[in-house]
Amino acid sequence: MSKADYMLSILWMLQQRKRTAAELAEELELSVRSVYRYIDALCASGVPVIADAGPGGGYSLPEHFSSAPLFFDAGERRALVQASAFARGSGYPYEQALDGAIAKLKRYSNAEQLSQMERHESGLETLHSPAAPLAQLLEELETCTADSLMVEMDYRKGNGSPPSSRGIDPYGLVLWKGQWYLTGFCHKRQEIRSFRVDRITGLRRTGETFLRPASFSAREFLLQSLLPGYDNPAKLTAVVISASEGVLNDLCSHWLFGHTLEQRSADTANFLLDEATLYSYAPYFLLPYGKALTILEPAALKQKLAAVTAELAAYYSA
């Protein structure tokens, strides 16, 4: 371990209880002289280590020091172990480092703290959609995003055409519905665009840097591209749907309807949708609900849904 790791380890151990230099040396597999050196370094950095001489003596920390920012309270420990559960399986590129951090947190927790963390950790799990292994690619993209490094990317579209190369200023990564997206400035198209990471077939650093636009949000950009007219309510059409509370809860949990919800009561929900989405996507999504919901407005959406249903009936009657 590095010097910083040894110093942090000593802090965690002293936070649990008083220890002698010999105990610290044995557990950390150090010489007692090295322990003295790290204790001196901690004191020099401002840590108030208490040294008691004689029988029953040893090193300890003041009681108030356990609430210092370096240490975590019960709620913070619970949040850390549970947050790690959300990251695992999502394609997050730093799972190994995350596991190491959680292991270190557990290693320097006392028995009561460890038991509490393990109870909360086992009580919350997640299921992620299967996805291509992209950890190495995501790690490189995240690094280039953080360090403002321009990349040259080989990218294949979903239409089966061969990959094409383009220079990209990577602005940010977004995880949406189990897929990772890279948002950045495309030098080929001279505009900001979003790309599916699993379609990147090659990635190289160009050696150039870029300046990321102030306050740019990759999440908001992707959301606006998914929801045309999202930032201009005047171009949107009001959709009013009546249903039971359970059906409306399910409907509003969907990414499209959840983000376009304008007003909601126990049995009615008002949405704002752009015209393209309203007639090309919404009817097919609403169709499986059958008579569990009623479209009150607009009349054109009801007519479109009736036409889609008639076409489907004719297809399977043939």
**Sites in the chain below the pLDDT cut of 50:** none
- Among residues 81, 99, 109, 90, the alpha carbon closest in space to that of 13 is found at 109
Q: Omega before 298 cis (within 30°)?
A: yes
pTM for the model stands at 0.68
Phi, psi torsion values for 2, nearest 5 degrees: -80, 170
Compute how many other C-beta atoms are within 10 angstroms of the C-beta atom of residue 206.
15
Q: How many Å apart are CA 113 and CA 308, to the nearest integer?
A: 58
Q: How many Å apart are CA 34 and CA 159, to the nearest integer?
A: 63
- State the pLDDT at residue 49: 87
Give residue 87's Cα distance to chain centre. 7
- State the pLDDT at residue 310: 93
